[in-house]
């Protein structure tokens, strides 16, 4: 059911070379390709719209859910709604991601709407990778929406990666944190050609002791355009930090808009933004170690996005 192109896409976005262990739901060209549930993790298709409900029983530890999506037919456009209900006291890893292979002339687009309801004291690691390939004139478009509702004492770590081949992306992430909940976001982004990538993060720290750290590292090459907009709202005695660190190259453009909104005298919020080209001294140092200028730039970028 899964062909060679789709297999390669799966390897890129989910490091999947064979069928994953644990629960999974693989979607290929808008259809269910494979699904597995476990004693603790159930996956059910939605009846009203396209998408799935993933229910994780309270106390589930050291289990993983893979829900990759691959598109290899040109011209597919879809919006998918996936809801994750994570019980109390869980410790799980969720791997999502979308790979598009577009050789045709029509645009391919996948818009995934993911909502996470994280129960008290649960721990979630969420990894989302985006990848596009194919030499057709049709664009590869991804517009993911992520919403996370973190109950008391829960924590979520989001790793968002988009390194190659996606022409246009608007990533919208919204998180609401109750008391003592924590959120860590690590975004890694590289754009080239005429690509456009926009990231919008809205974080609401609603309970005392809530903490958020939203950090984006990106490289904009050639004539690409990136926009990073991150707002942290502190409605309680909380801690928030957001940072955008970008390397700009060639004729690219990077717009960073960090915002802080403090509604409580005990909200401690910090933002940082830095955009700059690769420092000449870094390139020269690596050249004195025997690398060419191009190799030096690759090393610096690879390290930066690691």
Q: What is the spatial distance between Cα 24 and Cα 10, in angstroms, rounded to a whole number?
A: 12
Q: 289 in helix, strand or coil?
A: coil
Question: Among residues 101 and 241, whose Cβ is nearest to another protein?
Answer: 241
7, 285, 297, 298: which one binds another protein (CB under 8 A)? 285
To the nearest whole angstrom, how small is the minimum distance from the Cβ of residue 162 to another protein? 17
149, 288, 297, 298: which one binds another protein (CB under 8 A)? 288
Residue 189 found at the interface with another protein (CB under 8 A): no
Euclidean distance between the first and the last CA atom of the chain, given in angstroms as a whole number: 33
Binding segment for another protein (CB under 8 A), chosen from 46-54, 156-164, 230-238, 280-288, is: 280-288
Q: How many residues bind another protein (CB under 8 A)?
A: 22
The total of other beta-carbon atoms located within 10 Å of residue 161's CB is 18
Binding segment for another protein (CB under 8 A), chosen from 8-16, 157-165, 204-212, 289-297, is: 289-297
Residue 261 found at the interface with another protein (CB under 8 A): no
To the nearest whole angstrom, how small is the minimum distance from the Cβ of residue 296 to another protein? 8
Residue 48 found at the interface with another protein (CB under 8 A): no
To the nearest whole angstrom, how small is the minimum distance from the Cβ of residue 220 to another protein? 16
Strands (DSSP E) found in the chain = 23-28, 31-36, 41-45, 51-56, 61-71, 77-86, 91-101, 108-118, 123-133, 140-142, 145-150, 155-164, 168-177, 182-191, 196-205, 211-220, 225-234, 239-248, 253-262, 268-276
Question: Among residues 47 and 289, whose Cβ is nearest to another protein?
Answer: 289
Residue 163 found at the interface with another protein (CB under 8 A): no
As beta bridge partners, residue 116 has: 84, 148
Q: What is the spatial distance between Cα 267 and Cα 206, in angstroms, rounded to a whole number?
A: 10
The total of other beta-carbon atoms located within 10 Å of residue 118's CB is 30
Residue 302 found at the interface with another protein (CB under 8 A): yes
Residue 270 found at the interface with another protein (CB under 8 A): no
Binding segment for another protein (CB under 8 A), chosen from 45-53, 173-181, 259-267, 276-284, is: 276-284
Comparing CA positions, the residue from 108, 116, 49 lying closest to residue 77 is: 108
32, 44, 257, 287: which one binds another protein (CB under 8 A)? 287
Q: What angle do CA 47, 157, 220 make, to 5 degrees?
A: 95
Binding segment for another protein (CB under 8 A), chosen from 58-66, 90-98, 260-268, 279-287, is: 279-287
Residue 1 found at the interface with another protein (CB under 8 A): no
Residue 50 found at the interface with another protein (CB under 8 A): no
Residues that bind another protein (CB under 8 A): 217, 245, 279, 281-282, 284-293, 299-300, 302-306
């Amino acid at each position: 059911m899964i062909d060679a192109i789709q297999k390669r896409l799966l390897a890129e976005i989910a490091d999947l070379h064979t069928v994953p262990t644990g629960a999974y739901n693989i979607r290929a060209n808008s259809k269910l390709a494979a699904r597995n549930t476990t004693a603790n993790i159930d996956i059910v298709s939605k009846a009203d719209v396209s998408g799935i409900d993933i229910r994780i029983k309270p106390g589930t530890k050291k289990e993983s859910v893979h829900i990759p999506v691959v598109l290899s037919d040109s011209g597919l456009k879809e919006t998918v709604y996936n809801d994750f209900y994570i019980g109390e006291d869980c410790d799980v890893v969720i791997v999502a991601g979308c790979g598009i292979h577009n050789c045709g002339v029509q645009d391919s687009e996948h818009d995934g709407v993911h909502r996470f309801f994280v129960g008290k004291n649960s721990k979630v690691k969420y990894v989302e990778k985006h990848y596009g390939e194919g030499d057709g004139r049709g664009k590869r478009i991804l517009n993911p929406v992520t919403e996370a509702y973190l109950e008391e004492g829960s924590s979520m770590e989001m790793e968002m990666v988009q390194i190659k081949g996606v022409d246009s992306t608007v990533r919208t992430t919204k998180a609401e944190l109750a008391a003592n909940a924590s959120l860590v976001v690590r975004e890694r982004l590289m754009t080239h050609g005429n690509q456009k990538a926009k990231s919008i993060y809205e974080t609401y720290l609603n309970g005392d002791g809530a903490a958020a750290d939203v950090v984006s590292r990106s490289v904009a090459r050639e004539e690409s355009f990136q926009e990073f907009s991150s707002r942290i709202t502190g409605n309680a005695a909380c801690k928030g930090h957001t940072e955008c660190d970008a390397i700009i190259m060639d004729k690219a453009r990077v717009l960073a808009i960090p915002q802080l909104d403090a509604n409580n005298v005990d909200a401690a919020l910090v933002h940082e933004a830095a955009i700059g080209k690769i420092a000449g001294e870094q390139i020269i140092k690596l050249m004195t170690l025997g690398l060419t200028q191009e190799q030096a730039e690759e090393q610096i970028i690879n390290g930066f996005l690691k």
